[in-house]
A and B are shown apart, each in its own frame.
Chain A
Amino acid sequence: TVTEEGSSFPLPGVNVIIKGSTKGTATDFDGNYQLQVTNGDILVFSYVGYVTKEITYSNENTLNVVLAEDAAQLDEVVLIGYGSVKKSDATGSVSLVTTKDFNKGNIVSTDQLLNGKVGGLRITNSGGQPDSALNIRIRGGSSLSGRNDPLIVIDGVPLSNINPAGVSNPLSLVNPNDVESFSVLKDASATAIYGSRASNGVIIITTKKGTSGAPQFNFSTDMSINKAKDGLDMFESNEYVRFIQEYHPELANKLGVTLGSVQTNEAISQIIQVTNSDGDLESRAIYNTDWRDNVLRTAFTSNTNFSSRAYLFNALPFRASVGYTNAEGVVKTDDYERVTASLNLSPKFFDDKLKVTTNAKVTYADKNAADVGGALGGSLVFDPTKPVYNTASDNRFGGYYFNTNVDGNNLILDGQYNPLALLEQRDRPERTTRFLGNLELDYAFDFLPGLRAVVNLGLDASKSDKTERFYDNAAATYRFNSENTDINNNFVFNPGVNYRENQTLTNTTLDAFAQYTKSYNDTFVSKFDAQLGYSYQNFKNDGNSEQYRYNEITGLREVNENPANLNNRYYNEMNLQSFFGRANVDLLDRYLFTFSLRADASSLFVADDPWDSNAWGFFPAAAFAWKIKSENFMKNANFVNDLKLRIGWGKTGQQDITAAVGYYPNTPLFVAGSNSSQYIPGAGLYSALPFNPDLTWEKTTTYNLGIDFSFFKNNFISGSFDIYQKFTDDLLARVTVPPGQGFSDTFVKNVGEIEGKGFEVNLNMNAYQTEDWNISLNGNVGYVYNEVTDIGGQANINRGGSLRGTGSFLLSDVVGEQAQSAYVFKQVYDTNGNPIPGAFVDLNGDNIINDNDRYYAQIAPNWTYGFGLNVSYKKWDLSSGFVGQVGGNLYNFNKLNYGFTDAVVPANNNSITNALNFYDGAANPAFETVNGNIQFSDYFLEDATFLRCNNIVLGYTFDNMIKNGNVRMYGAVSNPFIITDYSGLDPENPGGIERDFYPRPTTFTLGVNFDF
């Protein structure tokens, strides 16, 4: 095995050759290699960025080699748009994360490899679901109504912003085991070449390639157990009975069930006597149900991968892999299965003049989209005195307990659905097959050495289908036949298909560019390269659905035919075209200049004429880097291994407002009304849709100053520091239209500005190294502050976040505050520190409490960080990763919604609901109701500062367990603990409001990895 000196992690792709021959191989991604040698041969181990090592072979069975990083070179290659550059020559702010840096443990989706590794990059998922939606922010994002997600490019194919139907996390469709590296492009000088979609940064993902050398195989498998942490402190049954009797004695007759009316194996915890609505005494059986326990489970996850690399026919580098993942969510029936296959071929032709690279990745994902929100929400509110099951013969609902009521001739469902039945009475498979592939042709011309032409064709296509199906006796399909008045048999169930959707996404890419590179010796200009190119991207989303409704008379399900759109089709197409150029000039091998310019057109801004000036945006960038270490005056500064200063400026663009206003925002169009939105009988309804003919590009200008450094022996400390400012103008924001002057009250307009500033530090420390020991630390900190500086004269822009009741919102954008801030009142507390409901501080001192006393509190944190520790001792290795944030707020909606004593009172039914425990401090009984402004109190907005341990991994490598290979076994625990003062479920939540949060489980993993 070849390992890295600092971390003792295996090094993949190290060239191993026998000196003086052409015989050689390369290490696989676990650092293993195999070579036929004879005694006395000298083996040369070389790898970019590391000091080459020569070892004379003397009959060892295995020869383990440790390579030291070559600080003077630091020749890691980072990918930039349409090319790559040695890290030491990079002029932009680019972070590289490679295999050795990846997070380990229970990794299901590719983003998990990267979390916490790069300063200024915040990755948050929406919860603990295997396919949970992803929120990635580089430097906090820069738009309001446009997208804030970075552009993701996989092997040269830029991904669409639209996920295939049924896929919440686009990065779950790439097998993490196939990933070789991430390049995170943060500043405009690095991203401007991607122009149109690069305002929020770029993440370039490359997958593993074939190599020359002997065939290598890898087989790995792991098994994980996932368990949710404790939930909210809701009442358990006995406390709930006490609470109802104390606070709402008139509701006591709704506790439990009439004694004897239910048949179940569950134990009755107590029997109480109540006066029922007829004034008679009645015995009620109280059960003790923990609904959360009933919808959650201990979940199992397994990943199995097999890959091989080979040099086929001594000419064709080849890599292929297959992977299988089976991930259960901790909510019952939330199942996820994935099969992946990938193939990479990279042959060369015509004396290596033509390099061909082709990647193909196929993924099939099958998940059951269980109603996890409904089940988790239901498990909070459902009355804990009710049983889970009822097998009495008169129960209609498949053995599950449901609250019912007699209304006229109908036995109607009353109140919440049994949360377990929500999961188990329904099945919603969502299946996606995706192909992601590219073919790159790179031809070097004879007639002018240094000139080459590159054409890259990419295709990202997927097909998805969803089917919703209900089982027999599912409560959701329970209806009445209005022609039958017999309460005992006038009901129907409608098992079977309730919804279907098919979707096809076809995204095509073509890039073509010519590049000319020339190096000079001993001249003022040491290197020059120039590039000119064209890029075409087309995104097509075509789908349709089959919808059903229940016949109002018979209660039977029928197809809901929409005459205006027979198969409920949706169709969206977006097209982007660009011309770009870039020049790099190196002076005296110390001063590096980069200039780039890109012109972009977006179909969103084209009404008819593709050459319309609104359609085109121009995005220039310039950068300068100074390799200080190469200066003569640094020659004697031996403690400095590397020192480079970077200055960059650039503009990038934003056009994706499709989430706010669709794909044809500047064209006057009509939409036909669906069949439940008709008015005059016999006339199909047509509405004019709002549009804005003046829409054009939003532009972000970024200034960046950065330093890369490495100091002391063995790169004791290395890292980078970046400080930046960015200005977004012509901001695309959904704003209020002057009344009467548009076809809706709000629409997107180029209005306003945002200013952002921040800095990032990445540090690595090789703390302690001996023959047996290796201890290293890594860490990063990012500070980001984005302030809205202009919204076109409006008071604020509503950003949603409705709490109790619709139409009143917590979040908005306002000048002088961070984007999407919470607009709240300052809570008044009594002398004991308890909140006084509805009492707020009169901030403006006018003796009236009204909206003028509200203030804005930030949601997004300013500080995020991540750090890790790696230790190895002989064949043992231990690594850990932590992430966290300082500041930022999260609204604890559950504390509001279940934290007032009237929360248990039925609203428009006869079923009481559970609440937070008022007896042990989980909620404050001073809150009787939360109407009016109480919901906007900052009492519910809590500091979301946290430190999470992401993972701890302990491994041991056996290098002689199998012949010609090695075996590594490891155990890992993911998310073992989190430190926070936040009182809700989980402070790591990008939405700003915590509701029915899907718990992030603690995971224990055992894995084994074979290389041979």
Chain B
Amino acid sequence: CTDDLDTEPKVELTLEQILEDDPNAIEGIVSRLYASFALSGPNGPGSSDISDDPGESPFLRGIINLQDFTADGMKNRWGDDGLDQLTTTSDWDANNKFFRYLYNRAYYTIPQCNNLISILNTSTDIPDAAEALSEARFLRSLAYFYLIDTFGKGVLATEENLGQTDPLPEATRRQLFDYVESELLEIQPTMAPNNGYGRANKFTAAMLLAKLYMNAEVYIGESRYDAAVTYLNQVIDEGGYRLADNFLENFSGDNDRSPEIIFPLLADAVNSQSFGNTTYIVNGNLSSDTMTLSDFGAAEGWQGHRATEAWYGLFGDLSTSTDTRAELFWTDGHNYTMTDYKEWTDGYPSIKFRNTDFFNPTNLTTSFSSTDFPLYRLADANLMYAECAIRGAAGADLSKARDLVNDVRERANASTITISELTLDFIIDERARELNLEGHRRTDLIRFGRFTGGSYVWPWKGNVQNGASIPEYYNLFPIPEQAISANPNLEQNTGY
């Protein structure tokens, strides 16, 4: 009778059961690791892997909130407590739930990766284990990259200390950097050059390495642009990617057809639903108040985000600009100047992302987006290469840099530039024109020394309409209160 105390689940499964029942079980676990950057939970958009709100907390939504709304080009108007402080780069504190969301998602993904790595290290008879292992290690590195970039430290949870309950010691930014670097250097050479759409490969890992090296001066105080060029060359010369003919191919419902995307975060209106993937970007920039939702394939407009003149101002007069990227702002019924960031009609919504197909537009409107998020794409690599060249990286060539930049500009029907026009000031602006709302902007501004202080201001920086200086410690976010309370080894970032 006491055997009855050992009750057995019938819906949830043990590892042995899924390995036995499903030949693709390992792929299913790998799939979940990728998914943790886009989806909120295992049971549809209302479920959450963590205790935070399924709608607000997904990883990608956090990347947009923390990288784009804190920066110059995009603002949100909802006035939600926490989001408001991001949008106005003011009153940041450790209780702001939006910091917690990204932190929790990163530290959700990492142990899930550790678990699979541990399974693959100990089971010998799993087919294709090597590829799954390097994917898991890549995804873990990607999660750590965001911790390095946004919070500047953390703990180093690996398969070695999986299951340990005593709080881990704090790991410095350099320790995390060194770990991610060594992981990527180890797996990158052996990864497949093409692993199927949506999955990490050799060049995805090269791109992450390049991002790490590009920002090494910020992260560890060392210039590593030379190393960045090595990996950018791999991506640009060997990756087989090419710029899509039309900019919008990268941001439409069928962008899985774009030859430019190196690493997307997938979305599907039916099978991969989330309030935190591109649904957040597409619906967030729409409102039936001033726009027709169905023109963008959306069934809902959330009336939230608008670009600022710090973005669209870079195109000059939008009505006369030949740059196709200048057309991707909705101006009808909206004011150029964001006098009140909470007023929907102040500022122009960005219509760069949309849910309609590029090649075969239909009348289809869906509540969720089917547009994949291009986390890494070739145009970014081109501009990164050019930046390295300007910064004097060994192995980088200025005329190649000019050509790569002009490829990007010509595709957008913008005027070409000469080598002498290729300056850091030009690059940071071109990155805005090309890459805003793609989750890179805050990192870029910090690398250019423009995020904190008062030398560069933008609308509502420091909670002032025309922008104000913000303190230098805002280059890092505060460690969430919840994390410090759960692990006393963690120390708050200076200033908070």
Q: Which A residues have a C-beta under 8 Å from some C-beta of B? A: 405, 407-410, 412, 414, 480, 482-485, 536, 538, 552-553, 565, 569-571, 573-575, 577, 601-603, 606-611, 615, 662-664, 667-689, 694, 734-746, 793-796, 798, 802, 805-808, 850-851, 906-910, 929, 931-933, 935
Q: B81 touching A482 by the CB < 8 A rule?
A: no
CB neighbours (8 Å) of A929 from chain B are 79
Q: A680 touching B199 by the CB < 8 A rule?
A: yes
How many angstroms from the CA of A482 to the CA of B11 in the assembled complex?
Answer: 37
Known: A407-B294, A676-B273. A670 touches B12 (CB 8 A): yes
CB neighbours (8 Å) of A793 from chain B are 485, 488
CB neighbours (8 Å) of A688 from chain B are 29, 112, 115
Interface size class on chain B is 35 or more
Known: A673-B42, A678-B272. A933 touches B12 (CB 8 A): no
B25 within 8 A of A: yes
B483 to chain A, nearest CB (A): 5
Q: B270 touching A407 by the CB < 8 A rule?
A: no
How many angstroms from the CA of A734 to the CA of B51 in the assembled complex?
Answer: 10
B56 within 8 A of A: yes
In the A-B complex, list the 9 residue pairs whose CB atoms are closest, starting with the nearest.
Answer: A740-B157, A408-B294, A679-B35, A736-B486, A806-B53, A738-B487, A610-B5, A683-B27, A931-B79
B224 to chain A, nearest CB (A): 26
Across the interface, A676 reaches (CB within 8 A) one of B49, B104, B165, B270, namely B270
Q: B95 touching A673 by the CB < 8 A rule?
A: no
Q: A536 touching B1 by the CB < 8 A rule?
A: yes
Q: B34 touching A679 by the CB < 8 A rule?
A: yes
How many angstroms from the CA of A676 to the CA of B302 in the assembled complex?
Answer: 21
Across the interface, A686 reaches (CB within 8 A) one of B32, B101, B111, namely B32
Q: B288 touching A671 by the CB < 8 A rule?
A: no
User: Which of B14-22, B442-450, B452-460 binds A?
Assistant: B14-22
B236 within 8 A of A: no
CB-CB nearest in chain A for B486: A736
How many angstroms from the CA of A929 to the CA of B39 in the assembled complex?
Answer: 32
CB neighbours (8 Å) of A538 from chain B are 4
CB neighbours (8 Å) of A610 from chain B are 2-3, 5-6
User: Which of B237-245, B362-370, B404-412, B417-425 binds A?
Assistant: B362-370
Across the interface, B51 reaches (CB within 8 A) one of A412, A552, A746, A910, namely A746
How many angstroms from the CA of A738 to the CA of B165 in the assembled complex?
Answer: 8
Known: A408-B295, A670-B14, A740-B110. A677 touches B272 (CB 8 A): yes
CB neighbours (8 Å) of A536 from chain B are 1, 4
A935 to chain B, nearest CB (A): 8
B302 to chain A, nearest CB (A): 5
How many angstroms from the CA of A679 to the CA of B11 in the assembled complex?
Answer: 20
CB neighbours (8 Å) of A607 from chain B are 6
Q: B51 touching A673 by the CB < 8 A rule?
A: no
A914 to chain B, nearest CB (A): 20
Q: Which B residues have a C-beta under 8 Å from some C-beta of A? A: 1-15, 18, 22, 24-25, 27-32, 34-35, 38-39, 41-45, 47, 49-53, 55-57, 78-82, 84, 93, 95, 97, 101, 103-104, 107-108, 110-112, 115, 154-155, 157, 161, 164-165, 167-168, 196, 198-199, 266, 268-273, 287-289, 292-295, 300-304, 362-366, 481-483, 485-488, 490
Q: A575 touching B7 by the CB < 8 A rule?
A: yes
Q: A851 touching B11 by the CB < 8 A rule?
A: no
Q: B93 touching A570 by the CB < 8 A rule?
A: no
CB neighbours (8 Å) of A673 from chain B are 28, 32, 35, 42-43
Q: A553 touching B12 by the CB < 8 A rule?
A: no
Q: B485 touching A794 by the CB < 8 A rule?
A: yes
How many angstroms from the CA of A929 to the CA of B2 in the assembled complex?
Answer: 60
How many angstroms from the CA of A687 to the CA of B4 in the assembled complex?
Answer: 27
Q: B2 touching A664 by the CB < 8 A rule?
A: no
Q: A664 touching B107 by the CB < 8 A rule?
A: no
Across the interface, B43 reaches (CB within 8 A) one of A677, A739, A933, namely A677
How many angstroms from the CA of A407 to the CA of B28 in the assembled complex?
Answer: 40
Known pairs A677-B273, A746-B51, A807-B82; list 7 more (Cβ under 8 Å).
A408-B292, A552-B270, A610-B6, A663-B7, A676-B270, A677-B35, A688-B112
CB neighbours (8 Å) of A795 from chain B are 481, 485
Q: B43 touching A577 by the CB < 8 A rule?
A: no
Q: B13 touching A670 by the CB < 8 A rule?
A: yes
How many angstroms from the CA of A538 to the CA of B5 in the assembled complex?
Answer: 9
CB neighbours (8 Å) of A805 from chain B are 78, 80-81
Q: With a 10 A CB-CB cut-off, give which of B9, B24, B53, B366 has the most chain A CB atoms.
A: B9
CB neighbours (8 Å) of B95 from chain A are 851
Q: B39 touching A407 by the CB < 8 A rule?
A: no
Q: With a 10 A CB-CB cut-off, give which of B5, B95, B483, B486 has the most chain A CB atoms.
A: B5
CB neighbours (8 Å) of A407 from chain B are 288, 292-294
Across the interface, B294 reaches (CB within 8 A) one of A409, A686, A798, namely A409
Across the interface, B363 reaches (CB within 8 A) one of A483, A601, A684, A910, namely A483
CB neighbours (8 Å) of B52 from chain A are 745, 807
A734 to chain B, nearest CB (A): 8
Q: B294 touching A674 by the CB < 8 A rule?
A: no
CB neighbours (8 Å) of B268 from chain A are 678
CB neighbours (8 Å) of B365 from chain A are 408, 410, 480, 482
How many angstroms from the CA of A806 to the CA of B107 in the assembled complex?
Answer: 21
Q: B107 touching A931 by the CB < 8 A rule?
A: no
CB neighbours (8 Å) of B51 from chain A are 734, 744-746, 798
B242 to chain A, nearest CB (A): 24
How many angstroms from the CA of A910 to the CA of B80 in the assembled complex?
Answer: 20
CB-CB nearest in chain A for B364: A482
CB neighbours (8 Å) of A603 from chain B are 4-7
CB neighbours (8 Å) of B198 from chain A are 679-680
CB neighbours (8 Å) of B287 from chain A are 908
Q: A552 touching B6 by the CB < 8 A rule?
A: no
CB neighbours (8 Å) of B32 from chain A are 673, 679, 685-687
Known: A806-B56, A808-B81. A738 touches B155 (CB 8 A): yes
B105 to chain A, nearest CB (A): 9
Q: A671 touching B28 by the CB < 8 A rule?
A: no
CB neighbours (8 Å) of A808 from chain B are 81-82, 97
B126 to chain A, nearest CB (A): 14
B399 to chain A, nearest CB (A): 40
CB-CB nearest in chain A for B55: A806
26 contacting pairs across A/B (C-beta < 8 A): A407-B293, A409-B294, A414-B288, A482-B364, A569-B11, A573-B8, A608-B6, A662-B12, A663-B9, A667-B14, A670-B14, A672-B18, A673-B32, A673-B42, A685-B42, A686-B25, A738-B165, A738-B486, A741-B157, A741-B164, A745-B51, A793-B488, A794-B485, A795-B485, A807-B52, A932-B81
Q: B39 touching A739 by the CB < 8 A rule?
A: no
How many angstroms from the CA of A668 to the CA of B47 in the assembled complex?
Answer: 20
A699 to chain B, nearest CB (A): 19
CB-CB nearest in chain B for A574: B7
How many angstroms from the CA of A736 to the CA of B44 in the assembled complex?
Answer: 24
CB neighbours (8 Å) of B266 from chain A are 679-680
CB-CB nearest in chain A for B79: A931
Across the interface, B288 reaches (CB within 8 A) one of A405, A736, A932, namely A405
Across the interface, B482 reaches (CB within 8 A) one of A573, A671, A736, A932, namely A736
Known: A672-B13, A680-B27. A741 touches B42 (CB 8 A): no
